[in-house]
């Protein structure tokens, strides 16, 4: 028997990011789960003091559950570069000072160059998405998705967001920045594995906690 708890009815999406909210609502809608957001309820934003993606997702989900009295859903994600010992990792958003991702991608390129890992060398990386659901009684559920790939330079494509233009997922010829959102985030209906880290984590969450 599954130890997982079902997520149903009304929930809180513990984010102030409008883009994430739209994506999360779309993912949850087919399961009859309706969502309000931390932004809409004007809840504060907790400090992300965790040292892992999962810890930061849990901080946000627990804060949301305590403040709203609703089951709360939160995510934390980022890109990890093998040649930089996993950086920027949980600091992915912070590397984009003033949300300038061109500069954050250039920093990855220049730090790899400085380590002797030039543009012709193999540059591996991966995205992680940690999802956490916290209930007001303290129960939590965790899910994590990962996609490995190569880091390309110069950046390619204008779709998506963040570090998408430098990430070439393994087995593919186009970067996330060159893919449609459906190719990147879509959930296959035939039961096969989704591509993006967030979609992969969500597939596991849906299987464990959402009723069809």
Asked if 77 is part of the footprint of ligand IMP (rule: CB under 6 A), the reply reads yes
Marked catalytic residue, from 75, 76, 109, 164: 76
Specify the length of the chain in residues: 212
| Residue of the chain from 164, 168, 200, 203 that contacts ligand IMP (CB under 6 A) | 164
Asked if 163 is part of the footprint of ligand IMP (rule: CB under 6 A), the reply reads yes
Q: What angle do CA 46, 48, 54 make, to 5 degrees?
A: 115
Q: Rounded CA gap, 97 and 142, in Å?
A: 29
Asked if 160 is part of the footprint of ligand IMP (rule: CB under 6 A), the reply reads yes
**Virtual CA dihedral for 163, 127, 177, 29, nearest 10 degrees?**
-110
| Residue of the chain from 37, 68, 92, 175 that contacts ligand IMP (CB under 6 A) | 92
Q: Rounded CA gap, 79 and 82, in Å?
A: 10
User: Where does this chain touch ligand IMP (CB under 6 A) — which range of 23-31, 62-70, 134-142, 159-167?
Assistant: 159-167
Nearer to ligand IMP, 38 or 79 (CB): 79
Nearer to ligand IMP, 11 or 54 (CB): 54
Asked if 37 is part of the footprint of ligand IMP (rule: CB under 6 A), the reply reads no
- 85 a catalytic residue: no
Nearer to ligand IMP, 71 or 177 (CB): 177
User: Cα 189 to chain center, whole Å?
Assistant: 21
Q: What is the closest distance, in whole angstroms, from the C-beta atom of residue 155 to ligand IMP in the complex?
A: 11
Q: What is the closest distance, in whole angstroms, from the C-beta atom of residue 95 to ligand IMP in the complex?
A: 7
How many residues make contact with ligand IMP (CB under 6 A)?
A: 15
7, two tokens: 């997520």
Asked if 199 is part of the footprint of ligand IMP (rule: CB under 6 A), the reply reads no
Residues of this chain that interact with ligand IMP (CB under 6 A) are: 76-79, 92-93, 96, 127, 160-164, 176, 196
Which residues participate in catalysis according to the annotation? 76
């Amino acid at each position: 028997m599954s130890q997982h708890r079902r997520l149903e009815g009304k929930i809180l999406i513990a984010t102030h990011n409008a883009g994430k909210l739209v994506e999360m609502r779309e993912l949850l809608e087919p399961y009859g789960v309706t969502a309000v957001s931390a932004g809409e309820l004007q809840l504060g934003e907790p400090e992300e003091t965790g040292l892992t993606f999962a810890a930061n997702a849990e901080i946000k989900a627990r804060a949301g559950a305590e403040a709203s009295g609703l089951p709360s859903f939160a995510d934390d994600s980022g890109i990890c570069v093998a040649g930089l010992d996993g950086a920027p990792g949980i600091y992915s958003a912070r590397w984009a000072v003033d949300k300038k991702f061109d500069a954050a991608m250039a920093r990855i390129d220049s730090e790899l160059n400085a380590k002797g890992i030039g543009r012709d060398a193999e540059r591996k990386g991966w995205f992680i998405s940690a999802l956490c659901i916290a209930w007001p009684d303290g129960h939590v559920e965790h899910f994590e998705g990962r996609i490995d790939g190569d880091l390309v330079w110069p950046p390619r494509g204008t779709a998506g967001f963040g570090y998408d233009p430098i990430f070439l997922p393994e087995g593919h010829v186009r970067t996330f920045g060159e893919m449609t959102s459906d190719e990147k985030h879509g959930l296959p209906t035939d039961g096969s594995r989704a591509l993006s880290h967030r979609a992969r984590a969500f597939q596991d969450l849906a299987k464990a906690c959402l009723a069809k």
